[in-house]
C-alpha cells in the first residue's frame, strides 16, 4: 500500500477563505489533545475574529492529517459563518467526519486548492 505524503502545512499560511476569513496557520503539536467537553481530540480549530487556526496532533499519519484539515475547515467555517450554507447547517460531528473522509477520496491530500474546492462544493462562497 502506498503511503500518502503529509500535507504541506506552510502552504496554508494566510490562506484567504470564503466569507472573508483567513486561515492563519496549521500547526502540529504533541498530543494528546482534549476538546472543550473533555474528549480526546486529534485536531482543534481556534477562531479569533476573521482568523482561523488549526492545530493537529503530530502523531497522526499523513492521511489522517488531511482528513483532519478537511474536517476542521468545514466545521470551523460552519461555526464561523453567521448563516452557514444550507448544505451544512444541520451537520453534526459525524457528518463533518464522513465528509472529510470522502474529501480525502475525492480530492486527495489536503492542499490549499483542494480545501477551497471542498468548501465550494458545500456552497461556501
User: What pLDDT is recorded for position 25?
Assistant: 97
pLDDT digit string, tens, across residues 78-96: 999 999 999 999 999 999 9
pLDDT digit string, tens, across residues 52-71: 999 999 999 999 999 999 99
Phi, psi of 4 (to 5 degrees): -80, 140
| Cβ contact 61:88 at 8 Å | no
Predicted confidence band of residue 117 (pLDDT cuts 50, 70, 90): very high
What is each CA distance from 6 to 53, 69, 70, 84, 105, in whole angstroms?
18, 11, 13, 29, 15
Per-domain boundaries in the chain: 10-121
What cell was used for 101? 473522509
CA dist 57 and 125 (Å) reads 29
Name the average pLDDT for the chain: 94
Predicted confidence band of residue 2 (pLDDT cuts 50, 70, 90): low
* 99: enclosing H helix or E strand: helix 93-107
Mean pLDDT in residue range 23-30: 96
Amino acid at each position: 500500500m502506498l503511503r500518502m505524503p503529509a500535507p504541506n502545512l506552510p502552504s496554508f499560511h494566510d490562506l484567504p477563505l470564503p466569507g472573508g476569513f483567513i486561515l492563519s496557520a496549521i500547526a502540529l503539536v504533541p498530543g494528546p489533545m482534549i476538546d472543550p467537553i473533555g474528549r480526546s481530540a486529534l485536531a482543534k480549530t481556534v477562531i479569533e475574529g476573521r482568523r482561523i487556526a488549526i492545530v493537529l496532533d503530530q502523531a497522526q499519519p499523513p492521511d489522517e492529517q488531511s482528513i483532519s484539515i478537511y474536517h476542521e475547515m468545514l466545521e470551523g467555517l460552519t461555526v464561523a459563518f453567521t448563516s452557514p450554507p444550507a448544505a451544512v447547517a444541520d451537520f453534526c460531528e459525524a457528518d463533518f467526519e464522513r465528509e472529510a473522509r470522502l474529501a480525502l477520496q475525492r480530492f486527495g491530500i489536503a492542499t490549499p486548492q483542494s480545501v477551497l474546492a471542498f468548501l465550494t462544493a458545500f456552497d461556501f462562497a
